Chain A
Amino acid sequence: MAHISPTYKLLKIDEKSFLVFYLTNQGEEVYVSTLVKQREEKVKTRDAYGEVLPRIGEKDEDIVVLTADLAGSTRTKYFAEEFPERFFNVGITEANMMGMAAGLAMEGKKPFVSTFSIFATGKPWEQIRQTIAYQSAPVRIVATHAGLTVGEDGASHQILEDISLMRVLPNMKVIVPADSTQTKAVIERIGKDLSGPVYVRLARAGFPVVYEDCDFEIGKAEVLTEGSDLTIFATGLMVANSLDAADDLADQGISAEVVNVSTIKPLDVDTVLESVEKTGRALTVEEHNVIGGLGSAVSEVVSEGHPVPLKRVGVEDRFGESGPAYELIEHFGLTSDRIAEEGESLLDGEL
């Protein structure tokens, strides 16, 4: 497997081996990921985070980890068990935690800060703006329990605004891994040197595994299935559902291209525009408010760069509610059936 660069171009996806090949700047053919054939197994992205964090920590003593009384839920406890001297549970002081992380980062440490997404983005937003984003402090905000799939805890914990809140901050990068495999690649990447802060959105519930293995580079969107009739831009859990939707559409003779937009900021403008130039239609799908997230980000560049009919699928500017994770996904219309339906309607011109 090769290390992907944002400038590489998609070459082909082998239908038998599920290997995704890219063309390097030098014209060399490299494979960067292998897709799972049957997306049946579900793994929690936070479990992947908890597993990989001590592994990068053992190689780099500058990595320190902070949490606000959620070591168990965020899985940072596994790092704590191996490296207690570099683990700081600061109690329920999220605003303070962000400030401390900024101080550590400005002194050359590589702080990973983890709590639930609502408490990592919503509660201390102004601290993040002033001391992390404004100072371009390379703090790694890795938050779990984002989105509807928090489940039973309900709307107070189901943040559907975090991508929007982080995306608007200058210097901030925003990453939403599609599954546990990509989560590991993301964490390994951001454990290396960064020029500024990054926000990574993880979840509580298990996500269908999409990648057998994969590489990750900040700012590279990855085409997972090629198509000619419409492009489905998806992020997070919605990547798996969009791949399922593309399979359903294929049965109806509709060719959908699925793009995993794992980096929402900086958005891979080239990949987005090249895809819509080819397909002429765009559907965005996210487990987030339709305002301010992936749908907005894609709409901005498509409307400016190559306007095509576009539809956003997400949570329609409302709060969540209690319920089992996947019942909520169904209730809020984020299933593969709904995605396929919306794709079809785009082709019918029923906007």
Chain B
Amino acid sequence: MDTNTLQKKANKLRADVLQAVTNANSGHPGGALGMADVWTVLHYKYLNDRPDQPRWEDRDRFILSNGHTCPLLYAVLADKGYFDSSELDHLRELGALLQGHPSTAKGTPGVEFSSGSLGHGLSFSGGVALAGKLDGRTYKTYVSISDAECQEGQTWEAAGVASHKKLGNLCAIVDYNDSQIDGKVSEIQDVAPIKNKWESFGWNVIEIDGHDYNEIDGALQEFNESEDPDGLPTVIISHNVIGKGVSFMEGDYHWHHGVLTPEQLEQAFSELGVS
């Protein structure tokens, strides 16, 4: 896929997120929109998976730690054919395949991890990456975490252990959008200097503009081509804009969660170029 096609795909996913959250009348659209560009390149260009075989043993693992952004994961999985896209219309309903936060208990195809409580994903991913090394498998483990999850102590426990145990097959992608429920991360409890922190914990750090497709591609290519499973784990710090692609949502932490009015949804679709 060329960049233009990927960008269109990202905007389609953004529209799916907004439609699903609007239907559900609750959810977290802001972060999902901000991560859409990075995720699109990852999921459509790099991630080695088989949607018709969700548990294929050699698939690259994609683990979502900041689980509240799951509408984006569901949009990707539906688009790839893991399940019927009509499931998106039932997000958060009683008995739905698509739970408010990702759930392996519901058996949602493509969901690798039950998240929703912040700070857990990096540890779990460390276990998944370690299992891959023990079994001599070449799959890579990607984990999405948020900047505010870098406030959680467990994230740093996991970061230290992953580098000490040489999990070179592990790649964390930090959604650095400076937003959390109560306000800006930098004002509530700053995580800066984030690059230095990850470096001092023994990680290979790549910092990118999460909306620049050349930078996104370069970062994912660098990790993907690293052949040493005993090397340093990699973290891609992705500077994202919350609500990216929709003018009235961009940069506003209030869209961490929230629902668009029908008029807002119409405007958003128009700005995203999706009918």
Interface residues of A (CB under 8 A from B): 64, 85-86, 88, 90-91, 93, 95-109, 111, 126-127, 130-131, 134-136
Contacts and interface: CB of A to CB of B under 8 A. Distances in A.
B58 interface: no
Main secondary structure of the interface of B (DSSP, over half): helix
Contacts of B112: 106
B114 A103 contact: no
Contacts, number: 100
- Please provide the 6 A-B residue pairs with the shortest distance between their CB atoms, ordered closest to farther: A103-B127, A99-B123, A107-B131, A93-B157, A96-B157, A100-B127
B65 to A, nearest CB: 10
Nearest to A134: B114
Contact of A96 (B128, B129, B154): B154
Given A93-B157, A100-B126, A101-B127, A64 B134 contact: yes
Interface string B92-129: 00000000000111000000111111011111111111
Nearest to A105: B127
Interface of B: 103-105, 112-117, 119-132, 134-135, 153-154, 157-158, 160-161, 164-165
Contact of A103 (B103, B115, B126): B126
Contacts of B131: 103-104, 107-109
A131 B128 contact: no
Contacts of A64: 134
A103 B104 CA distance: 12
A108 B130 CA distance: 12
Given A96-B161, A106-B128, A136-B105, A131 B120 contact: yes
Contacts of B164: 91
A107 B127 contact: yes
B123 A98 contact: yes
Contacts of A111: 127
Nearest to A94: B157
B104 A99 contact: no
A97 B130 CA distance: 12
Contact of B123 (A86, A96, A108): A96
Given A106-B104, A127-B120, A130-B115, 15 more contacts: A91-B161, A93-B158, A96-B154, A96-B157, A96-B158, A99-B120, A99-B126, A100-B126, A100-B161, A103-B123, A103-B127, A103-B131, A130-B120, A131-B114, A135-B105
Contacts of B121: 99
B128 A103 contact: yes
Most chain A CB within a 10 A radius of its CB, from B105, B114, B164: B114
B123 A127 contact: yes
Contacts of A101: 127
Contacts of A85: 134
Contacts of A131: 113-114, 120, 123-124
Nearest to B117: A130
Given A107-B132, A108-B131, A135-B104, A95 B123 contact: yes
Nearest to B152: A95
Contacts of B153: 95
